Amino acid sequence: MIKVLVNGALGRMGCTVVNAVKADSELELVGAVDAYEGEVEGVKVETNLDAALKKYSPEVMVDFTRPNVVFDNVMTALENKVSPVVGTTGLSDEAKEKIRELAEKNNTPAFIAPNFALGAVLMMLTAQKIAKYMPDVEIIELHHDKKLDAPSGTAELTAKMIAEVRPSHKQGHPDEVERLSNVRGADYDGIRIHSVRLPGYVAHQEVIFGGLGQTLTIRHDSTGRDSFMPGVVLACKKVRNLRGLTVGLDKILD
Ligand code: NAP
């Protein structure tokens, strides 16, 4: 049994993770932490992460909290030699580099996935393949209106993966003018990213490729938070066998 502590246990994702960990025969839920005390699925929720890690000695800490606290949470886990499995988005490249350094120094593997849904990972890998042949591409990500950060980690990672294979170039008309600011979206190496926030959505993304006389669109929809759970459970089981920092669910799929 792998001992797991869930941080952010009272949140939308956190309480789904609590259930998934409890339901898995190879995982044992030993603790739950959030910003406020409470109870989830009969499990007491505490507020001091460092104290809870010391008290319960988990092997893995799953983090679904907030972009402004996730870095400190991960560093606290690594200082306690507990492997973080991180779903919280918003970590900068610089923060990830510091996480990598501490993970290596403390010989405690860490895992981050901007998207734990298998379909989303397949969408990103497919987008990267298509971009070699259709390099003009825009990304539209759509999420619920409680999401704090934009663009989504998935959209950013998709753009990064496409940029690895796509010759850098500016898209659209060279003399294009934005009459409303940012109406053309964010610019990642020439790739436009558009973020939609509305009630009713969970997590969705379209990647649209344009070519001569044709377009090709791929789309992934997470219609429920359970879509992320097989990926989270897999990461809990595999993280201790990794080294340093691993980013992306595709790295641990067989
Ligand atoms: P949420 O419902 O707001 O849950 C976050 C929880 O963390 C809340 O209960 C929050 O408490 C708590 N929290 C805040 N500060 C904390 C701290 N210092 N220590 C412990 N807990 C703290 O958000 P969510 O929808 O579950 O999403 C959480 C994160 O996961 C977001 O970054 C989201 O983008 C990401 N996400 C990732 C994936 C993926 O596949 N990687 C999928 C879905 C979502 P308060 O509300 O009291 O602040």
Q: Tens digits of per-residue pLDDT, 168-178?
A: 999 999 999 99
Q: For residue 34, which of 3, 20, 60, 13 has the smallest C-alpha distance? A: 13
Q: Catalytic residue among 143, 194, 204, 238, which?
A: 143
Rounded to an integer, what distance in angstroms lies between the CA atom of residue 212 and that of residue 235? 41
Active site residue 81: no
The ligand 1 site (C-beta within 6 Å) comprises 7-8, 10-14, 33-36, 64-67, 69, 87-90, 113-116, 147, 203, 228
pLDDT (average), residues 145-174: 94
- Amino acid found at 75: M
Q: Whose CA is nearest to atom 20 of ligand 1?
A: 34
pLDDT (average), residues 20-36: 97
Active site residue 132: no
Quote the ligand 1 centre to 183 CA distance (angstroms).
Answer: 29
Query: Quick check: 219 and 205 in contact, CB under 8 A?
Result: yes
Quote the ligand 1 centre to 29 CA distance (angstroms).
Answer: 18
Name the token pair of 99.
């996480």
Rounded to an integer, what distance in angstroms lies between the CA atom of residue 55 and that of residue 65? 21
Rounded to an integer, what distance in angstroms lies between the CA atom of residue 202 and that of residue 142? 8
Q: Tens digits of per-residue pLDDT, 54-111?
A: 999 999 999 999 999 999 999 999 999 999 999 999 899 999 999 999 999 999 999 9
Q: Tens digits of per-residue pLDDT, 176-197?
A: 999 999 999 999 999 999 999 9
Residue 254 pLDDT exceeds 90: no
Rounded to an integer, what distance in angstroms lies between the CA atom of residue 251 and that of residue 254? 8
Its pTM surpasses 0.85? yes
pLDDT (average), residues 114-141: 96
Using the atom order of ligand 1, give the atom closest to the CA of residue 66: 32
- Amino acid found at 195: S
Domains of the chain: 2-112+226-252 (3.40.50.720), 118-223 (3.30.360.10)
Q: For residue 15, which of 24, 3, 6, 27 has the smallest C-alpha distance? A: 6
